[in-house]
């Protein structure tokens, strides 16, 4: 593949990406969320059409219009969630939708399934119901399904995320087996260790751009993490971090001890001072978002004690956190943040209105004043405050959610990925805003996949790995190297 471009309205998802897969190799595709991995895969498999560029298979240019076409050309894909029918048998799952005839030839199908399973060394019987197999075996059956029909390329999107170590090893054996048959495998994962264990080469994407292609043996882990996280943009580097508050002796605004949640984050301690900006650093899945959610009680809190300004408080539901003066901008803007059909105005006043109470609605004029004030303050681009929020661009939607929380005048504001998927200009605006708010005495926790952003805004970084805090960094002159060092080393 050469010079692949793909743009969506308002977002440039892929820009001039080259990608080459050799016969019989396992090629890892790496990058943080939003880097363009999924988009690239979808362009390869024909889910999306490319805007520009060239794709060739065995030297012949190809152009898929649908996933079915890609499959017929020998490109099999296994997605993160196992897309099989759990109440059907193994063989049925392997051949469903494959036959050209209306009638199933059971005997033939089962024989063929047995053959395939044996040849790949998958420990399952064709007549077994799928639910009776372990997740790993199900995953392998999904692969077997994709591999059947003379597969040349196999794409595995996060195949290991729900498997334990043993199961992962079994899956790797299968991958090696396929590799030895000359199948080219594209392997997408967030687990760096696994990449080093199985892949031959690595391609790194960031923000829709190709960062580079490397031999796995020639790039150290720390280098890889650096490539994934990226370098500072010049415009952003002009931002000036303000000094952390001097008096460490004062009572922290928020303090948690042994806090844990149903989302699986290990009990952790956490404090934040008045006017401090800190952040949870770590890769995707490290538990950084889960920790933030635990503080706001967005997930069910399963243990721990919480103090606000030294006073013991109970936070069981988001509303309790809000009443204590905590705001939370969620990671998943679409799923947890915006109420998409409601107007910009309603979206802005929502949290403040809920805090005021069910029986005390703001008057229309009052609500309009609030909305107008923040549309102006945050420079939100919208035709009017009556416009449904869903018709705004991602960056402006994010500003609306930010406005929603600023309107509540929180003491402590948690921002989880406030800059994801939005343009550079807005990113800088948001970072500037964070620093300004802190200067005015607000405490903030800032979480971002882009380590530069955190380095520029946070005076203290809590580094997480595998749902645990593995280190803490503070000081004015932190570099990404320091952070990567902690992540790569694990416990310190």
What is the size of the binding site for other proteins (CB under 8 A)? 46
Q: What is the DSSP string of 190-221?
A: S-HHHHHHH-SEEEEEETTEEEEEEEGGGS-H
Name residues whose C-beta falls within 8 Å of residue 386's C-beta, 6 or more positions apart in sequence.
343, 344, 345
CB contact at 8 A, 470 and 463:
yes
Burial status of residue 200 (CB atoms within 10 A of its CB: 0-12, 13-18, 19 or more): middle
DSSP β-ladder status, 460-465 and 468-474? antiparallel
Q: Contact with other proteins (CB under 8 A): which of 248, 341, 472, 492?
A: 341
Pick from 450, 446, 18, 3: nearest CA to 241? 446
**Contact between 409 and other proteins per CB under 8 A:** no
For Cα atoms 286, 19, 2, give the angle at the middle one, nearest 5 degrees: 140
Provide the β-strand partners of residue 277: 444
Angle between helix 364-377 and helix 344-356 axes, rounded to 10 deg: 120
Q: Which stretch binds other proteins (CB under 8 A): 58-66, 134-142, 172-180, 353-361?
A: 353-361
Nearer to other proteins, 39 or 160 (CB): 39
Shortest Cβ distance from residue 237 to other proteins (Å)?
25
Comparing CB distances to other proteins, the nearer of 80 and 216 is 80
CB of 318 to other proteins, least distance (A): 5
Comparing CB distances to other proteins, the nearer of 281 and 322 is 322
What mask of x and - would describe binding to other proteins in positions 26 to 65, judged by CB under 8 A?
Answer: -------xx-xxxx--------------------------
Residue pair 205/40 in contact (Cβ under 8 Å)? The answer is yes
Structure tokens at 183: 């199948």
CB of 391 to other proteins, least distance (A): 5
- Nearest CA-CA partner of 445 in 275, 241, 248: 275
Task: Indicate the residue among 207 and 273 with the shorter CB distance to other proteins.
Answer: 207
> Smallest distance from the beta carbon of 469 to other proteins, in angstroms?
24
Q: Closest separation between CB of residue 259 and other proteins, Å?
A: 18
Binding mask 358-387 for other proteins (x = CB under 8 A): xxxx----------------------x-x-
Tokens of 15: 């820009």
Nearer to other proteins, 93 or 396 (CB): 396
Q: Which residues bind other proteins (CB under 8 A)?
A: 8-11, 13, 33-34, 36-39, 296, 298, 317-319, 322, 328, 330, 334-342, 346, 350-351, 353-355, 357-361, 384, 386, 390-391, 394, 404, 421
């Amino acid at each position: 593949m050469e010079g692949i471009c793909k743009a969506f309205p308002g977002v440039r998802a892929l820009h001039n990406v080259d990608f080459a897969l050799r016969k019989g190799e396992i090629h890892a595709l790496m990058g943080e969320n939003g880097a363009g991995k999924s988009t690239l895969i979808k362009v390869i498999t024909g889910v999306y059409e490319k805007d520009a560029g060239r794709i060739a298979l065995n030297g012949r240019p190809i152009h898929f219009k649908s996933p079915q076409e890609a499959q017929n050309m020998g490109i099999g894909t296994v997605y993160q969630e196992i897309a099989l029918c759990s109440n059907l048998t193994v063989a049925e799952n392997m051949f469903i939708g494959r036959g050209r005839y209306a009638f199933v030839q059971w005997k033939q199908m089962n024989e063929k399934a047995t053959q395939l399973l044996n040849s790949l060394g998958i420990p399952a019987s064709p007549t077994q119901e799928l639910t009776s197999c372990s997740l790993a075996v199900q995953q392998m059956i999904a692969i077997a399904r994709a591999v059947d029909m003379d597969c040349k390329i196999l794409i595995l999107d996060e195949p290991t995320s729900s498997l334990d170590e043993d199961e992962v090893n079994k899956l790797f054996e299968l991958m090696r087996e396929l590799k030895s048959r000359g199948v080219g495998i594209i392997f997408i994962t967030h687990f760096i260790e696994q990449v080093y264990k199985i892949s031959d080469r690595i391609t790194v994407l960031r923000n829709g751009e190709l960062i580079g292609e490397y031999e796995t043996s020639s790039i150290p882990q720390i280098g890889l993490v650096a490539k994934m996280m990226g370098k500072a943009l010049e415009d952003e580097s002009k931002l000036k971090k303000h000094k952390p508050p001097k008096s460490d002796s004062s009572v922290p605004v928020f303090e948690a001890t042994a806090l844990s949640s149903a989302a699986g984050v290990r009990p952790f301690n956490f404090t934040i001072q008045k006017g401090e900006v800190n952040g949870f650093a770590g890769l995707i899945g490290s538990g950084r978002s889960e920790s933030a959610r635990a503080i706001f009680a967005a997930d069910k809190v399963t243990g721990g004690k919480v103090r606000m300004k030294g006073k013991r408080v109970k936070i069981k539901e988001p509303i309790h956190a809000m009443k204590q003066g905590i705001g939370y901008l969620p990671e998943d803007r679409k799923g947890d943040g915006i109420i998409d059909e409601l107007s910009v105005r309603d979206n802005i006043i929502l949290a403040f209105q809920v805090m005021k109470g069910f029986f005390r609605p703001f008057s229309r004029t009052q609500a309009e004043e609030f909305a107008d004030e923040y549309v102006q303050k945050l420079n939100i681009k919208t035709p009017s405050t009556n416009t449904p929020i869903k018709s705004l661009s991602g960056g402006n939607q994010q500003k609306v959610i930010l406005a929603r929380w600023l309107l509540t005048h929180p003491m402590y504001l948690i921002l989880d990925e406030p800059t994801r998927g939005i343009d550079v200009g807005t990113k800088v605006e948001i970072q500037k805003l964070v620093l300004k708010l802190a200067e005015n005495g607000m405490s903030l926790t800032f979480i971002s996949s882009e380590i530069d952003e955190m380095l520029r805004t946070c005076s203290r970084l809590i580094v997480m790995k595998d749902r645990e805090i593995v280190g803490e960094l503070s000081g004015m002159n932190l570099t990404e190297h320091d952070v990567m060092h902690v992540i790569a080393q694990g416990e310190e």
